[in-house]
Amino acid sequence: MDMMQDKNADNFETRRDGDSGSVSERAILVGVKFGSSRYAHAAESLDELKSLAKTAGAEVVVAFIQKRESPDRATLIGRGKMEELQRMVAEEEADVVIFDSELTASQQRNIEEMLDRKVLDRTALILDIFAQHAHSLEGKSQVEMAQMQYLLPRLSGKGVQMSRLGGGIGTRGPGETKLEVDRRRIRQRIQTLNRELARLAKVRLSKRKHRAKMGVPAISIVGYTNAGKSSLLNTLTGAGVLVEDQLFSTLDTTVRRIILQNRVMVLGDTVGFINNLPHQLIEAFKSTLEEVLEADLVLHVIDASSETMSLKIEAVDAVLEDIGAGHVPQLRVFNKMDLLRREELENLRARYPDAVFVSAKRGTGLEELKDKLASRLLQSREISLLIPYERGDLLSLVQRRGVVIRSEAVARGVEVEAQVPPYMVHVLAPFRLGKA
């Protein structure tokens, strides 16, 4: 059986949004399992695509998975299945067809011509959601950059012929004002966005350098989208960040202060991760994700109640590796423990003995989390340094935040042996004489 469709089963039910008070676009979702890949993974990915489509405002009327040995170069799923999909689109009066795999430009054009309907892939859907949820200048610019980079290779010589597709999902965001646009204007816009994002990145870098100079430890909250990162930030700091039961409900980075053991720290919330996060988004959000690169500790928030928890942990770890943050110390925080049965919680504690288990919604486990943060960030480490004479600011920082064991003036600067908090180690790393 090379196509599996079930409009009533648990994983593939039809979803209707009749109570929303607005007209939703009727969507058909198409997943494909290639070769020896596991069907369960394709099913989980398609279920996530449903959540993404719902977040974008679609009413999912049909979702199916097709088995294939390899992708069809023209239509991904092959002409025979395309004919079945044509009948399905007509029967269901679908407005949009969304593929869980990324489509090439030619595949998208071919499928649109055959179906006479709007066709999106997973990347375009995620970009549309980001366009809806970005509010700050930097967030909007980052999303528009990703949209332009996605659109550029999909342009034909005469421009994108999208007028018959109308608006709605896949056409929103800062880049929506011109549906027929040529490569030259896209490239000009990308250059403008690059300059704007570079300017904003300098502002962000300046703030990070100021925090580092003052010896303020930085914690970055990361996690799969909808794991409860914003809820945890609100509970710990009273940040007042928007919290909704939606994928990517918040995009704009929020940095707030938290005081632990009379020491000020900063806690930064980042964009939620997702499996197969589009590379255009990773590139566009690079300056935001650099907050994670330079953090002293990564707080990896995990939805403990998720049936695909392990896969989501792997997806987040993969993104951290992709952006070069795999080396940053990590503390795993399992959220939503109030939704677990006692035996489930005990099994998780046994599997992850170094993790912390909390309920941001109920405030459970937060004191243990704060104690663990203080332990990871404030316990002293011994370090040997050679600080140049022109960097008296660093010597002053070591004296203020650490305990100087030995200090000696030499030709090239001041040799110092000191005990410093872990969060200062990366600031002082270029001046280390040897391993502590």
Q: Which domains does the chain have, with CATH numbers?
A: 3-129 (3.40.50.11060), 131-196 (no CATH), 216-378 (3.40.50.300), 381-434 (3.30.70)
Looking at the chain, the whole-number percentage of residues with pLDDT higher than 90 is: 31
Q: Which tokens sit at 239? A: 């940040």
Per DSSP, helices labelled H in 182-308 are 183-213, 229-237, 279-284, 286-293
Alpha-carbon distance values, 430 to 140, 247, 384, 387, 434 (Å): 36, 40, 11, 9, 11
- 109-118, 169-178, 260-269, 346-355: least confidently modelled range: 169-178
What pLDDT sits at residue 243? 46
- Across the range 428-434, mean pLDDT stands at 85
| β-sheet bridge partners, residue 120 | 98
What pLDDT sits at residue 248? 52
Per DSSP, helices labelled H in 3-78 are 39-56
Q: What is the DSSP letter of 431?
A: G
CA-nearest of 336, 341, 338, 335 to 355 is 335
CA-nearest of 186, 173, 198 to 251 is 173
Task: Return the higher-pLDDT residue of 180 and 71.
Answer: 71
Q: Is the pLDDT of residue 239 over 70?
A: no
- 201-205, 302-306, 369-373: least confidently modelled range: 201-205
- Across the range 268-276, mean pLDDT stands at 77
What pLDDT sits at residue 227? 86
Task: Return the higher-pLDDT residue of 422 and 34.
Answer: 34
What pLDDT sits at residue 193? 87
Residue 356 C-beta-side C-alpha neighbours within 13 Å: 24
Place 164 in a pLDDT band, splitting at 50, 70 and 90: very low
pLDDT digits (tens, 9 = 90+) for 255-265: 788 888 888 88
Looking at the chain, the whole-number percentage of residues with pLDDT higher than 70 is: 82
CA-nearest of 212, 303, 305, 58 to 315 is 303
pLDDT digits (tens, 9 = 90+) for 42-77: 888 898 899 899 988 899 999 999 888 999 999 999
352 three-class SS:
coil
What pLDDT sits at residue 21? 39
Place 14 in a pLDDT band, splitting at 50, 70 and 90: very low
Q: Is the pLDDT of residue 18 over 50?
A: no
Q: Is the pLDDT of residue 17 over 50?
A: no
Contact 200, 192 (CB under 8 A): no
Q: Is the pLDDT of residue 120 over 90?
A: yes
Q: Is the pLDDT of residue 420 over 50?
A: yes
Mean pLDDT estimate for the chain: 80
- Across the range 304-319, mean pLDDT stands at 89
- Across the range 154-158, mean pLDDT stands at 54
Q: What is the pTM of this model?
A: 0.70
- 156-170, 186-200, 228-242: least confidently modelled range: 156-170
